[in-house]
Amino acid sequence: MYHIKETIIVEGVYDKIKLSRFLDAVILPVHGFQIFLTPETMQTIKKMADKTGIVIFTDSDSAGFKIRNYIKQSLSPETVKHAYIPDIKGKEKRKDEPGREGLLGVEGINDEILLDALKKAGCEIDGEAEEARQGREITKADLYRLGLSGKEDSAEKRRQLAKTLGIPMKISANMLLDMLNRLVSYEELGELVQNISVRTE
């Protein structure tokens, strides 16, 4: 069992069951869109954010991002971390049909990928946290200069970069910047984009 300091916020009970099999952590399911109708759940999340910090670990589909953004907007940024699962096609074993977007949710992803996502988010695992990369910070201006925003093929480049890094395709510009500054150096990003440019030509 891995001990996680932060409270983990997930969408549903099956996500909690999945993570509880290998994590020793407070795991709080928000029951999907019920979070919009239950202010007491949001109050609990705020208390846990102040006490332990939280990591939002929702699915990588549109519903997951709506829930993530709603929770994020209600909290101080310094108390929130974001863990993302990559876009992996498939369906959970307990379901007859895949979800609307055909992507696996937290409950359907293997343990190693889930643990890696928590590490990338900077969670404190067994008393240690992975620090953000040192050196020059990557900025929005860098994204534009590297062709990841504001250009005709920017969306395709971001899609390929997300796939390479194992993060969701729908990630916002601000969240992409946060993840890039945690996962790669400015120089490494330049190399990744150079390789992507070759493949998109």
Does residue 68 carry a pLDDT above 90?
yes
Sequence spans of domains, the chain: 2-129, 140-200
Note the pTM of the prediction, 2 decimals: 0.81
Residue 133: the pLDDT is 61
Q: pLDDT by residue (tens digit) across 81-132?
A: 999 999 988 888 888 777 788 899 999 999 999 999 999 999 999 998 876 6
Count other Cβ atoms within 10 Å, centred on residue 132. 12
**How sure is the predictor about 56, in pLDDT bands with cuts at 50, 70 and 90?**
very high
CB 116 within 8 A of CB 179: no
108-113: long-range contacts, CB 8 A cutoff, minimum separation 24: 109/85, 111/21, 111/22, 113/85, 113/86, 113/166
Q: pLDDT by residue (tens digit) across 119-166?
A: 999 999 999 887 666 678 899 999 999 988 888 888 888 888 988 888
- 124-125 and 128-129 strand pairing: antiparallel
CB 28 within 8 A of CB 7: yes
CB 5 within 8 A of CB 27: no
DSSP 170: T
Residue 201: the pLDDT is 47
- 2-3 and 27-29 strand pairing: unpaired
Distance from the Cα of residue 52 to its chain's centroid: 18
CA distance 128 to 4: 9
User: Mean of the pLDDT values across residues 180-195?
Assistant: 89
Does residue 197 carry a pLDDT above 70?
no
CA distance 159 to 21: 32
CA distance 74 to 110: 30
As a whole-number percent, the residues of the chain with pLDDT over 90 amount to 61
**How sure is the predictor about 189, in pLDDT bands with cuts at 50, 70 and 90?**
very high
Domain 2-129 part of CATH 3.30.1340.10: no
